[in-house]
Amino acid sequence: MFPPAGGVGAGAGAGAWQLQQGMGVRAVAAADVVLGLATAAFALYAVALNPADSLTQTDTALRSANCGATPQQELGTRFEGLVVLLTAAAQAATAGAAWVIATAFGRGMARLLAIFAHALGGFNAYALYYVVRGVAAVTLGLCMGNADRVILVLYHAIFLVTQAVLLVVGFVAVLCGV
């Protein structure tokens, strides 16, 4: 799609064309804002997780069977949660900036910001798996049995596939100007 040729009303047509071309960037940026904020919320939960609040009834059984998470594992979960919290906040802020710039000024810089935010979303999807496993280990204990496999299957079958589709579609929308 090319901008309208000069003539009567060409200025309004060119502005409308530029606004329409920025819709793909704005749509990807809006999706990245929502995903970044949702990821940050879960990461904040992982950071603030208090293992003493979990499994109070079966705590003695877990400790006797060596199923409880060690302090190092709890610290590791908090650290991974902090990393994801920071990158998710950066994803949401960068995507928000891309949306504002695309709305106000067009696609040039907005496209770069949207690509960066989208790449952060890919990292967050990868790192979130370790946070989810850490939270499950801290709250359910390390002797989860089949629960660990269920988390692994659900992550790969549902979350990772949808995130991969979103990444591909988002990159195509931003780079090709769809």
DSSP conformation letters of 54-75: S-SSSHHHHHHTT-SPPHHHHH
Q: What is the pLDDT along the chain (178 residues), one digit of tens a residue?
A: 444 555 555 555 544 444 455 678 888 888 899 989 999 999 999 898 876 666 554 555 555 566 667 778 888 889 999 999 999 999 999 999 998 888 787 778 888 898 999 899 889 988 888 888 888 777 776 666 666 667 777 777 777 787 788 888 888 888 776 5
Distance CA 113, CA 119 (A): 10
Please give the model's pTM, rounded to 2 decimal places. 0.74
Other CB atoms within 10 Å distance of the CB of residue 50: 8
3-class secondary structure, 49: coil
Task: Retrieve residue 78's tokens.
Answer: 């908090």
**Which SS3 state, helix, strand or coil, does residue 100 take?**
helix
Spans of all domains in the chain: 21-176
